[in-house]
Structure 1
Amino acid sequence: MARLPIPKSLKRILVPAWNEGHRLGWLVRDHAGAVLSGRWARCSVCGRVRPMIYRRRVVPEKLAERWGLTPRLAKALARKESSDCAGCGAKLRARRIASVLLETFPIGSPPAPARSLAEWVRSPEAARMRIAEINRIDGIHGALSHLPGFASSDYHPGAPPGAIVEGVRSEDLTRLTYPDASFDLVLTSESLEHVPDLGAALRGIRRVLAPGGLHIFTVPVLPDEPKTFRRAELRPDGSIKHLAASIHHPGGDVGYLVFTEFGADLPEVLKRAGFDLTVHYGPVREDDLTQVYVCRWMGL
């Protein structure tokens, strides 16, 4: 039976309505799943007690297959990349970064951890800090954006480092343009694995940190991967040389290419780069891939 053609004018109405209905359907299901499963918690970013929205679909099956993830690892990665606070939208990895930040930089007299990032940013201690967020961290970005010493940037391919692209500063972790010793804290999340030259990125972060400054970050580490290795490298002509099976983590239209696969030797990699390291929520295990790494640069 032939299908009746749908006029273009009607399509312009029906398609957005269909998409919005589909989105609302997912939203209702996600919230209902969080409520029925008892996934309620106080958010370390906004401070409100809200459902935490787990979305298994954020880790596509093709990625799980290419990365060799067991069903348990795939669920742990999906928790890391979702578990969104229904109040502010902060993912689990962002909320854990916030928790570590609050523990590391107490406020008040006597000093004590703030209950949330929303509370912390109103303190005089936070107002005195110089913080760089390199690549936007959803949830954390909004909370920190009004601090006087906050500098945020994203990576825009093809843009000169330090350029302003559509109102946002563009920075390349391998060629940071900030002055030496200009920050007390650098924040990144799921960024270092996508950098073509990890050594250059770590040296750049070390350079822009003041002595005693911290780099607080997350990266993907699999529990059964013993050694950090390169999956790809950038040739001088800008082309990509694949050294192992290529992996693209979710994001954008086609995802983001992984250049470095981090293994259990990550602490040694960071120590060789000149940092003192503390790992929170560790060690990496099959049911928890959301560790937070704190690197301190003590200076030369």
Structure 2
Amino acid sequence: MPRIPRWLKVWLVPIWNRTHRVVGRTRQFATAILQGRCEWCSACGRFGPMLYQARVVPPRLAELWGLTPQRTKALARRESCNCAWCGAKLRARRIARVLLDTYPVGDSLERAPSVAAWVRRPEFRRLRVAEFNVIEGLHDVLLALPGLAYSEYQEGVEPGSMVDQVRCENLTRLTYPDESFDLVLTSETLEHVPDLDAALREIRRILVPGGRHIFTVPVLPGVPKTYARADLMPDGTIVARGPMIHHPGGDHGYPVFTEFGADLPDLLKKAGFETTVSWGDSTEEDLAQVFISRKPDGASIATAGLTHSRPLG
């Protein structure tokens, strides 16, 4: 068989890759439409298909985590089902829905139709919001908030420093002053923090009385008690207590220090929060829980004129 000339490969490979991506994207759109996965996005407010991607959960990650095929699909739904318009995955859209339910519009207790509309309301534009690590699909919408403080963790970078115009923060030793924020948002972050107790203390410290931390962490059904998967030693080395799991790849990615269990609400209460779990318990079919921790103040939050809350769907 004759070999393909090098110059022809250079020309053909990009075309092949683009074609492969287009075909894959078309298949995702068609599958979403055929399976009825079209809905209004709580993040951007537009109607369209929610694109499922099974490959977001690599086989090695499923193996190390001991996931059944059913749980693997549920985790893949949680980490995909992306809005075709803004890219918000299911867990980001769940956070968006919780935001809309937790902060209704005025005295009417009506939900804003989307976070894109919510951020334009004057009462919410006065909120001071801290987003730690980008929440894909939701971050771009939140940028419209004047009071948004966005930061990322970068290993070896001093907290409070700027790298490529992005502030760097370490959840175990934040540089923000006490009672700086009305709302803290994190998604798939706490499990990667080596000192969970320190992170919860810091989040509580920077919240105003009555302020909230709305977040997601992976919680598998049937895990009764939160436990450590690894420890960070004083010299910076990581010592695993069992099979070491990294997100997103299993053997590579960000190390997981904490495996959360059904006792998470109790841990949050011990850290000084009032806790609500939105979207029910973790089940074999639905792993996209959203947690709300509120710093007590003995009264309803008055910041930005927000005096109401209602049960979450």
What band does the TM-score fall into relative to the shorter chain? over 0.9
Q: Secondary structure at the match of 1:106?
A: coil
Q: Do the aligned residues in 1 keep the contact of 2:172 with 2:199 (CA within 8 Å)?
A: yes
Q: Secondary structure at the match of 1:18?
A: helix
List 4+ stretches of structure 1 deviating above 4 A: none
List runs of 5+ in structure 1 lacking aligned partners: none
Q: Do the aligned residues in 1 keep the contact of 2:151 with 2:167 (CA within 8 Å)?
A: yes
Task: Work out whether 1:4 is the aligned partner of 2:7.
Answer: no
- State the Cα deviation string for residues 143-171 of structure 1 (Å, max 9, x = none): 11021101111111111111111111111
Change (3 A) 1:197 1:6: farther
TM-score normalised by length of structure 1: 0.95
Q: Do the aligned residues in 1 keep the contact of 2:130 with 2:185 (CA within 8 Å)?
A: yes
The corresponding residue for 2:266 is: 268
Structure 1, 16-25 or 263-272: larger mean CA deviation = 16-25
What pairs with 1:87-236 in structure 2 (closer than 5 Å)?
87-236=85-234
TM-score normalised by length of structure 2: 0.91
Distance in 1, Cα, partners of 2:234 & 2:165: 30
The corresponding residue for 2:276 is: 278
Structure 1 residue 59 displacement after superposition: 0.4
The corresponding residue for 2:55 is: 57
Q: Do the aligned residues in 1 keep the contact of 2:58 with 2:250 (CA within 8 Å)?
A: no
Distance in 2, Cα, partners of 1:171 & 1:85: 29
Q: Secondary structure at the match of 1:132?
A: strand
Change (3 A) 1:252 1:126: farther
The corresponding residue for 1:48 is: 46
The corresponding residue for 2:241 is: 243
- State the Cα deviation string for residues 43-95 of structure 1 (Å, max 9, x = none): 10111111111111110111111100011110110010001111111000000
The structure whose RCO (Cα within 8 Å, separation 6+) is larger is 2
CA-atom RMSD in angstroms: 1.7
Structure 1 residue 299 displacement after superposition: 5.2
Structure 1, 258-267 or 14-23: larger mean CA deviation = 14-23
Percent sequence identity over aligned pairs: 60
Amino acid at match of 1:254: H
Q: Secondary structure at the match of 1:102?
A: helix
Amino acid at match of 2:3: L
Change (3 A) 1:252 1:128: farther
Structure 1 residue 108 displacement after superposition: 3.6
List runs of 5+ in structure 2 lacking aligned partners: 299-313
How many residues get paired? Answer: 298
Amino acid at match of 1:12: V
Distance in 1, Cα, partners of 2:291 & 2:271: 14
Structure 1, 154-163 or 229-238: larger mean CA deviation = 154-163
Amino acid at match of 1:161: P
